[in-house]
Amino acid sequence: MPELPEVETLRRALLPIVKNKACSEVILFRKALRFPIPRESLVKGLINHKVADITRKGKYLLFQTTEGSMLLHLGMSGRIVLQQTFEPREKHTHVIFKFSTKTYLHYIDPRRFGSISWVPKSGRHPLIDNLGYDPFSLDMTAKTMKVLARKSRAPIKSFIMNSQKVTGVGNIYACESLFHAGIRPTKQAGKITLLQWEKWIECVQDVLNKSIASGGTTLRDFFNPNGSQGYYSVSLSVYSKEGQPCPKCSHPISRLFQTGRSTYFCKYCQPL
């Protein structure tokens, strides 16, 4: 499943290709992905309007024009591939955007959990209106997180995976960042100290950045029509390592279930 690092890498790869260029044609091979694709709004807002920027909020990409933004999500299995033709090269190619004679972006998604929507000029859209902080947003500070979590009795791990609080932190990144920050995943979010929030923000950005950096080869694959966009490997300290020695203290890694997902942590390095 594409996680935040893959989406950020895709954003960086797409930006020089489409920035200040206008999409001249769009072909839809189906009417809906996870949600209906608003063909009319897409055509009106995208065609012949230059893309001023691509921004990211969590795992959503926003292609901004003067008319609003195309909102794109890769779902569970989505990819965007650069091609030189309208001819679909792969099964499950659902939408093709033409930017110039040799620049066609193919949206491919076998499981169709992704989405392509249109955000009007107001910037409001139900899919993004209630999203929490992006981990790289300057607004996400120890202070804002402390205030946000003030009355929360939810375990910290559930809190940082709640997309209305923080957006784009999946299970692996949640486990790894809490381990590096030395915070027990079951600790109540409301009891996390300012210092711990500071440490966690630093750690989650570090884990995400390392994963983005590991995706260097994937960026190259993106420009290769036959290349496959693999998902990134994260250097794992605790995730999926139950019973193995903790890289910091050598005690065995523990595992528990939180809201149906596995949580991995070290009892000694992440004290209660």
**Could you list the active site residues?**
2-3, 59, 261
Question: Does 89 contact Zn ion by CB under 5 A?
Answer: no
> What tokens appear for 29 in the block?
């091979």
Residue 227 vs 252, nearer CB to Zn ion? 252
Q: Which is nearer to Zn ion, 147 or 249 (CB)?
A: 249
DSSP 253: P
Residues 251 and 138: their CA atoms lie apart, in Å, by 36
Three-state DSSP class for residue 22: strand
Q: Which is nearer to Zn ion, 192 or 269 (CB)?
A: 269
Using rule CB under 5 A, residue 161 touches Zn ion: no
Binders of Zn ion among 191-250, rule CB under 5 A? 246, 248-249
Three-state SS sequence of 188-245: EHHHCCHHHHHHHHHHHHHHHHHHHHHCHHHHHHHHCCCCCCCCCCCCCCCCCCCCCE
Does residue 266 touch Zn ion according to CB under 5 A? yes
* Choice between 13 and 266, CB closer to Zn ion: 266
For residue 159, give the 3-state DSSP assignment: helix
Phi, psi of 55 (to 5 degrees): -115, 170
268 binds Zn ion (CB under 5 A): yes
Under the rule (CB under 5 A), what is the footprint of Zn ion?
Answer: 246, 248-249, 266, 268-269
